Structures are given as structure tokens and as C-alpha cells.
Amino acid sequence: MSTLRQLLAWGEETLRQAQVPDAEVDAWELMETAFAVEKSCYFLQRDDKIEDTDRERQYRGFIEQRCRRIPLQQITGRAWFMGLEFEVSDQVLTPRFDTECLVEAVERLLVPGMRILDLCTGSGCILLSLLARNPRIDGVGTDLSAGALQVACRNRDRLGVQAQLIQGDLFDHVTGSFDVIVSNPPYIPSEEIGGLMPEVRDHEPVMALDGGADGLDFYRRIIREAAGYLKPGGWLAFEIGCSQGEDLVRLLSEAGYTGVRTGRDLAGQVRTAFGQLPQKNTNTDNADGPAGPDGM
């Protein structure tokens, strides 16, 4: 019969031998999930014999899954984003810390009463975080994947926010106009998919990754169609790949957007791109609206 300390050491070593990154961190998080134990309690109980063999069996199963490079968040079924807990599965991309800079930049555009549209919403982490943190905003999210929409709906209900979630290809079935359209679309060039980490390549939905030959297919479509859904002076906001900044600036500028700019994440990598639909009165520089997503 093992102790918690022995079982955790086994988990760490097993993950290291499988060359899983951050073996110590993952072994602990899987123990925390399997045994529902916090670190303070663990240190009090770590040398006690494990009597709950079902939990031990579950932990060993978790470690085996992680050795097969199933993402940690898919095993635990949860991920943290903007301080909120989201359900995740193999139907959605795992929310990334890098994406938080997009949410923070979009928040600088918002004023009460605005309406936002999130395209390729996935787990809903962008849209639902914005709504949870800005309760006087209305929001709509779309995704082509029925499985992703089911996850997003459960996250919406868990967070207790109001959001319309629509299954469709980008703007399909979307009605009305919006102050901000935000998207973290597929942007990995097709030929680069095979070189991604196995957690991403083998276990996250390819349809949420593959952006076409140059990774820009969805940006082109969204930029081309967004003008029909943005209010005058409304903003288009994207997460982008770190090498795509110049391309997005060009695409947005060529489409007639103004105030075009990119922003960086905390690692200093280009991560976001923004453009503003011109006001109907071209002599007015968004005088009654937000100044833009500066401060990124």
C-alpha cells in the first residue's frame, strides 16, 4: 500500500521518463484532482497509507493519459482563464494565458451598453470572460463545431452570464450590428500543423488550428465580411500568430480600417491586431467612443 508521497514521486518519475514537460507540476495537479486534496492537507497526510484505492487507480490512469501527451487540462476537465474556471475537452482549444492580453485590450474599448460578437468562440473563454467582467455588455458567440458550442453553453451557465451562442460558420445566422467583433480564429499554416507539440497536434481539434496555406484564410474572410456587422466606428479585434503582424496590418488597412495597430503579450511577442471601421462622418475621429486598445 502506497503513501501519497510515494505515489506522487512515482507520478513525477513516470512523467519524466515519458519526457512530459513540467512533470513535477503536472503530477501534482493530477493528484490534486484525483484525491481532491490541497497542498496544505497533502503535507499533513503525505505519509499516511492510501486507503481509497479507487482514487489511487484514477491517479495512475491520469498519469498514463498524460504520458500519452493528452493535455493536462483535458484530463482534469478544467482550465483557468482571466481568473475564471472553464470546462475544456477535446472539442475545444485549451484557453491559453497568451490570449488574456486580447481580452484585456478589448476591455479598454468597452463602455456600458455595447454589443460584442465573438467568432470561433470555442470554449467561450474570450466572450464569457468579457461578459463576466463587464456585466453591462451584451454578447453573441459563434462556432461551427456543435461539440464546442456544447462546452461553451455549459461554461456560460456555470458562470451565470447571459450570452447568445450560435452554431454556424463565422457570420452564419448572426443578426444585428456590433460595437466590437473579436476572434481568435484558426491561424496555423497548414504545413506547420505536423510540427506542433503533440498535446496540440494530436489532441486539439484541427479545425480550430488550421488557417490554410499561409494561416490567413480566416482573417481574410472575417475582414471582408465584418463591415456588414460592425457599427460605424466599431472595432475588429484579433489574436494573431507572432509572425503575422505585418500581414494583419496590411489586410486591415487595405480593407479601409483605420487606427490599425498590433499589440504584444507579456512575453513581448506580437499577439493581437486591431482595426476600426470608419465613422460615417469621416471628419469625426470616434469622438463619442473609446479611444482604442492602447496600453497593450
Q: How does pLDDT run across 243-278, given as a tens digit for each residue?
A: 999 999 999 999 999 999 999 999 999 999 999 999
3-class secondary structure, 79: strand
Give pTM, 2 decimals: 0.90
59 labelled ligand-binding: no
* pLDDT score, position 294: 67
Confidence of residue 291 (pLDDT cuts 50, 70, 90): low
Confidence of residue 281 (pLDDT cuts 50, 70, 90): low
Place of cell 484558426: 186
* pLDDT score, position 45: 82
Report the 3 state secondary structure along 79-126. EEECCEEEECCCCCCCCCHHHHHHHHHHHCCCCCCCEEEEECCCCCHH
Average pLDDT, integer, range 62-84: 98
Average pLDDT, integer, range 81-110: 97
What pLDDT digit, counting tens, does each position of 141-171 carry? Answer: 999 999 999 999 999 999 999 999 999 999 9
Distant-in-sequence, close-in-space partners of 219: CB < 8 Å, separation ≥ 6: 185, 187, 211, 238, 240, 244, 247, 248, 251
95 labelled ligand-binding: no
Average pLDDT, integer, range 40-55: 85
* pLDDT score, position 287: 38
Task: Specify the fold of 90-276.
Answer: Rossmann fold (3.40.50)
**Pairwise pLDDT comparison (37 vs 282), residue with the higher score:** 37
184 labelled ligand-binding: yes
143 labelled ligand-binding: yes
